[in-house]
Amino acid sequence: MLAFGLILFVLGDVAVRMSSPSSHVAAWWPAAGVSVAVLVRRWQARWSFALAIVIFSGLGNLAGGRPWYISLGFSLSNAAEALVAAACLWQLSPRTPSLRRLGDVARLGAATALGAATIAGGVALTLWVSGETVAASTLRVIPSHAASVLLIAPLALSSTRVTRRHPAEVAASWLVIGAAVGLVFSPGQTRALVFLLMVPMVWSGIRLGVRAVSAQLLAVGIAVTVMTSRGWGPFANPRADAGDSNASIQLLIIACSLVAVSLATAMAERESALQRVRASEELFRRGFDEALVGMMLLRLEGKSVRALQANNAATRELAIDVNDLVSPRLRDDEGRTLGEVAHGLAPGEGWRGEMDHVLDGSRRRLSVSVSRLSGDAARLATCQTADVTARHQADLELERLAMRDHLTGLPNRVLLDQRLSTLLAEAATASTSVAVMFIDLDDFKLINDTSGHHQGDLILVEIARRLAACVRPDDTVARMGGDEFVVICPDVSDMRDAVALADRLRPVCQEPISINDSTFQVELSVGIALSTPDVSKNELLSQADIALYSAKAGGKRRIVAYTDDMGAAAADQVRLEADLRDAVDGGQLAVHMQPVVDVDDERIMAAEALIRWNHPERGLLLPGAFLPVAERAGMMVDIGAWVLDEACRQAASWIEQFGVDAAPCVHVNVSARQLDERGFADIALATLRRRGLPPHKLVLELTETYLAEVDESLIAEFEILAGQGVRFAADDYGTGYSPLTRIIELPISMIKIDQRFVRSATDNQRALAVVSSLANLARSLGLEAVAEGVESVDHARVLRDMGIRSAQGHLWYRAMSATAFHALLNQTAASRISPADAPESLTASR
């Protein structure tokens, strides 16, 4: 700040020394220009610099012999001038003040005028308040300060972008301007030559930048002022008033500044615009040449097109050069060349598609976009190309894969649907029928489980080969997935012909298959449907599927033809499934209880929870009527969870009334679908906690046939439940094929002997032996044995003789509603009477 003040002080003294000898009024006041330039550049610290202007300008005036009050007024006026001019530049400029456009020069002129008016007003006011005479020379302050600002401020406002010129040209410009100044302001010259200075200044304005021009203007201003002060040049007429000389210098400085700075700014703006255009054009050119897609500008000639411009990718893909006719070998799927496509477009229209391009015997696929220009360029077109050969080949392969089974190579469901639609349309025209055969490999899951899926895949491939080899040429063999195949046979007269065709397939497929030293024999189940004029594709496939289901349900290894009765039964199953979904949400399901009694004293020890459905139209339905439907519909998990929850709720109510020791346990059957869902242990324990039932009061029954499928992770879940006290029972034991080791591996505490053995034990020695063996097995392993299906006193006697303590059956109780069972518990707990003496309302369900 001190340096800035000293500079102002020195510049003021220099200006006075350069003033005319006859008057101490300076032609221009450098301190004003420096003040404005500094405040523009350091606007954030403007008040500090304004204070420095007041202090050092005041000191300069005091040193010049002016009274303190006038010195103070003049210094305040100098500071006000700089603040007003700088503020004007900041307020009028849309960005940081600079000389980038002609509008910036206009803003500089406005700021200069306002600043000069401010200093003139401040000086006049100071003199008037001080009682001094307000001389007309006060107005001379305006051009003096304006010239100073126009000489110095452009240096601070000049853009950092410098116009690059050869040093020789810059030096020549300085020499020419110096020569012009020396010529015009040599002793004895007249004013007629003054404006010769404008010529080199215009040259500088056009050729050099704002900063160089501003420096030259400052040098000219200093030279003219010094030479005039020494009496040289046209403005140093000794007979003229000093004010006239100053006015001439000021007019020259202002004119040269406005013209030269304006020209330099305009040329810099033009140069900047040209640079932007060149940069944009260069960027476009680089983008055009280096684009990964081919790009061309085409001219339509005759029926062809000529490449006016082509980038590297187009040159490489099409093997063309600029001005070549684009190869007619570039054709679309309709055989049209690129030229024919372009000529077929109206101005402003475009076309996009794919074309084949044959080059050196190889065929490539190109994606092509053509746009015909409009207006005066209507004979021109733009074209973009991209090599999509790899993608096209991949699409063809994907299409093949989408239509073919990945394992066997046979048509899949998509291609089957297409061919069946076509054959049905042809059959309707020719008045023939189409037979559809659904083929399923019987017990194929067992092959996968015992021999592995790899062996199973090889068997499927071989069956596919055999089927394809023994059908007629017009027949279609497809794989639907898994171990299901479909054969479509067109031109079939009636169902007997269709069955005869199926009979040819079975023996071929049933021949032994040898794979890796293992031999397999596969049996088939076949369902056949025959088209009619009014049947749709989906209906025909559904009929064949229904016939296959009937063949599987009837014992497998059969050929079954679809009948209307099957359709009615299938429709009934569909309706039953819909009703079952409503039943789950509508509270139509119920849990009945069948007591498990002590064979010796007929005391109720437990109860097995059995699901029932109160159908609004069909009445009470037993599990066999709807659980297979639930199994196919994927509802067993939800239904099983509901049964478990409801059974636990009822068992908890027994404990609440009779106590933990006296209340019976509850048995709940668990389906394979429930156990397939991981986390079964968490679900069971959460149910027990929610219903408040002690774990040892719950027995989970698993069918023996499922025991062989229990894996290690499920065993771990069983161990968790057993550790909490939950017991497990092997239901229908003796009818499955699980090894005895499963009894050891699993936390089984109870086996339930299947009712078929129990009912036959009184008149069939083999059945009796099975029951006795199972009873002895249970006793040896420390397991509880429960006999099912006890219907007579003789059955009960046999069980007592074998030492079997627990049983259930119609001899004692049938399954009853939860309310009836609760009443039975109340009755037996109160009277301890035998079931034979119980009220009729309780024994009616036996």
Whether 219 and 265 map to the same domain: the answer is yes
Same domain, 704 and 744: yes
Q: Is residue 740 over pLDDT 70?
A: no
By mean pLDDT, which of 292-301, 539-548, 555-564, 625-634 is the weakest?
625-634
Q: Report the number of distinct structural domains present in the chain.
A: 4
Q: Give a yes or no: residue 49 inside a domain.
A: yes
Q: Are residues 7 and 68 in the same domain?
A: yes
| Mean pLDDT score, 544-551 | 86
pLDDT (0 to 100) of residue 838: 39
Q: pLDDT at residue 231 above 80? A: no
Pick the most confident of 371-385, 618-632, 733-747.
371-385
- Global pTM exceeds 0.75: no
Mean pLDDT is lowest, of 11-25, 413-427, 535-549, 830-844, for 830-844
> Domain limits at 730?
576-834
The pLDDT tens digits of the residues spanning 754-763 come to: 888 888 888 8
Average pLDDT over residues 315-333: 79
Q: Where does a domain end: 269, 303, 330?
A: 269
* Mean per-residue pLDDT over the chain, rounded: 82
pLDDT in the model for residue 595: 95
For residue 546, what pLDDT is reported? 86
Does residue 655 share a domain with residue 515?
no
- Of the three residues 352, 371, 395, the one that is the final residue of a domain is 395
Residues 114, 84: contact at Cβ < 8 Å? yes
Residues 462, 329 within the same domain:
no
Q: Residue 369 falls within a domain, yes or no?
A: yes
In a domain, 515, yes or no: yes
Task: For residue 244, name the pLDDT band (cuts at 50, 70, 90).
Answer: low
Condensed to tens digits (0 to 9), the pLDDT of residues 186-209 reads 877 766 677 788 888 888 888 888
- pLDDT surpassing 90 at residue 652: yes
What are φ and ψ of residue 669, in 5° steps? Answer: -80, 135
Is 770 a member of any domain?
yes
The dihedral sign for the CA sequence 743, 746, 749, 750? negative
Note whether 306 and 245 are same-domain residues: no
How is residue 53 written in tokens?
């202007």
845 lies in some domain: no
Res. 33: pLDDT tops 90 = no
Once rounded to an integer, what is the mean pLDDT over residues 812-840?
A: 72
Amino acid identity of residue 476, one-letter, is T
Of the residues 344, 362, 395, the one at which a domain ends:
395
pLDDT for the residue numbered 239 = 52
Write the pLDDT tens digit of every residue in 139-187. Answer: 767 777 888 888 888 888 876 555 667 788 888 888 888 888 888 888 7
- pLDDT confidence of residue 810: 92
Q: Is the predicted pLDDT of residue 24 greater than 60, yes or no?
A: no
- The tokens describing 455, both together, are 């062996």
- 188 domain-assigned: yes
Give yes or no: residues 520 and 637 share one domain. Answer: no
Which residues in 341-367 are b (16+ Cβ under 10 Å) and which e?
Answer: bbbebeeeeebeeebbbeeeeeebbbb
pLDDT at 841: 33
Q: What is the pLDDT of residue 760?
A: 86
State the average pLDDT over residues 550-572: 78
Q: Distances in Å between the alpha carbon of 442 and those of 276, 525, 548?
A: 79, 7, 11
Indicate if the pLDDT at residue 581 is higher than 70.
yes
Q: Is the pLDDT of residue 835 over 60?
A: no
Report the CATH number that the domain containing residue 455 is assigned in CATH.
Answer: 3.30.70.270
Among 58-72, 354-368, 605-619, 666-680, the range scoring the smallest mean pLDDT is 58-72
Q: Which residues of 305-317 are buried (b: 16+ CB within 10 A; e: fewer)?
A: bbbebbbebbbeb
Comparing CA positions, the residue from 556, 446, 439 lying closest to residue 509 is 439
Question: Across residues 590-595, what is the average pLDDT?
Answer: 94
Could you tell me the CATH number of the domain that includes residue 626? 3.20.20.450
Q: Are residues 42 and 190 in the same domain?
A: yes
Residues 384 and 438 in one domain: no
Residue 616 tokens read as 């609004």
544 inside domain: yes
Categorize the per-residue pLDDT at 18 as very low, low, confident or very high, splitting at 50, 70 and 90: low
The band of 684, judged by pLDDT with boundaries at 50, 70 and 90, is very high
Question: Same domain for 692 and 729?
Answer: yes
Report the relative pairing of strands 698-703 and 665-669 from DSSP bridges: parallel
State the pLDDT at residue 784.
92
Find the length of the chain. Answer: 846
Residues 342 and 253 in one domain: no
Please indicate, yes or no, if residue 596 is contained in any of the structural domains.
yes
Instruction: Please say if the pLDDT value at position 527 is more than 60.
Output: yes
Residue 310 sits in a domain whose CATH number is 3.30.450.20
Whether residue 409 is predicted with pLDDT greater than 70 in this model: the reply is yes
Strand order in the sheet with 330-332: 304-310, 294-301, 380-387, 362-372, 350-359, 330-332
Say yes or no: 483 and 510 in one domain: yes
Q: What is the pLDDT of residues 778-800, one digit of tens each?
A: 888 889 999 999 999 998 998 89
